[in-house]
Amino acid sequence: MSNSLPRIVITGMGAISPVGLNNRETFDQLVAGRSGVGPITQFDASRLPSRIAGEVKNFNPTDHMDHKAARRIGRYAHFSIAASTEAIRDAGLNLQQTEPSRIATLVASATADFSFIESQMFHLFQNGPGKTNPFAVPRASTSMAAGNVALHFGLTGPGFGVSSACATGSHALATAWMLLRAGFADVALAGGAESAITESYLESFCALRALSTRNDEPEKASRPFDRTRDGFVMAEGAAVLVLETLEHARQRSARIWAELAGIGMSCDAHHITAAHPDGRGASQAMDQALKSAGLDASQIDYINAHGTSTDVNDPIETRAIKTTFGQRAYTTPISSIKSMIGHSIGASGALEAVTCVNVINRGVIPPTINLEQPDPACDLDYVPNQARVQPVRTAMSNSFAFGGQNCVLIFKRFEDQPR
């Protein structure tokens, strides 16, 4: 891509996760190898095969908005506003001194307020029409993660949601990157938010045999790349990043955490849920991300894996990494934070993006916990069980979703010189 296009930098980050209510707490707990997975408390899960999840604990929406506003929107939207508030504060972004029409909002969700949708359907079937909540439609819209953030902060630039299942958060960041480079905005709030720990949603994944049923040891249930893995763990959370053109960040003397140096996207066009067995779509997206960043595989210091802990995904991702990285695949550290916080679907790519930026700035790689019996088909360096202190200049984040919708992001330590 042309070097004349604007460079896009990250100036702020916010996170809500099963192990922390802010960015710093979340990353500290990830580095410590702490699991946020436990028995489900949001509803009675006793009838389900999988009764565990990565729930966000001790979150109070009225810490971030007034009571009336909190009642009108769902938990995923609460998360999106909380993470956005932290990201804006972290960026030192004064919204009163920034033209609102030049701030884009691309906070995304794959499922929107699934709990509310479920309750309204139950109410309709039990009581018939006529009593449906008037907020049902906006709360059911995946675009309203972005919509609620824009309303809360008065942002009038491009604002919409993208939705690509497990790659949603990464695609939101990639879309923001493209909008900023194309000149549609100077600043973007981008990321993902999700809260879909509900009975019908989990039952659907149980029917697919995709969820772990290690109910007696919830903290050990998510086991990416381990031979004894039996599925992923549903989770919730949010992460939002403030992206800016380098010129805009310089004009306001902003602290820069990292550069979003390149993106890659592809579609397997193979199956409605499974990735292509040879990982061709995933490898294609990694190749494209490297090309757009002007890097080769030897320059990537860390890979944050999609690493879901499913029988199908983990070996396919391993295969794809080998295709793109060749022999370098065996010496590049790789880890999956889903081993600790589970899989938050539309928020996962954004939480992993924040993790990559933190790794670059703090020089420590979170582990893949519960990796006790490595799968012979997964034979790379997954940073097992203990964090690794290691300088990281460039980090790749992988997101591979149902339908083979792939998105790869490359983050780079910021250097104040032309690429």
**Positions marked active-site:** 166, 306, 343
CB contact at 8 A, 350 and 172:
yes
* Bridge partners, 412 (sequence order): 259, 394
**What is the edge-to-edge ordering of all strands in the sheet holding 394-401?**
103-108, 187-194, 237-245, 8-16, 258-267, 405-412, 394-401, 302-304, 334-335
Q: What distance in Å separates the CA atoms of residue 186 and residue 57, rounded to the nearest whole number?
A: 35
Give me the phi and psi of 102, to 5 degrees please.
Answer: -105, 10
**DSSP category for residue 48:** S
Closest to 419 (Cα-Cα) out of 258, 293, 250, 290: 293
CA angle 246, 23, 235 (to 5 degrees): 120
Instruction: Please give the sequence-ordered ranges of beta strands (E in DSSP) within 72-221, or none if there are none.
Output: 103-108, 187-194
Give me the phi and psi of 97, to 5 degrees please.
Answer: -110, 10
CB contact at 8 A, 260 and 8:
yes
Buried b (16+ CB within 10 A) or exposed e, 192-225: bbbbbbbbebbbebbeeebbbebeeebbbbbbbb
* CA neighbours closer than 13 Å in the CB half-sphere of residue 384: 13
Cβ neighbours of residue 137 under 8 Å, at least 6 residues apart? none
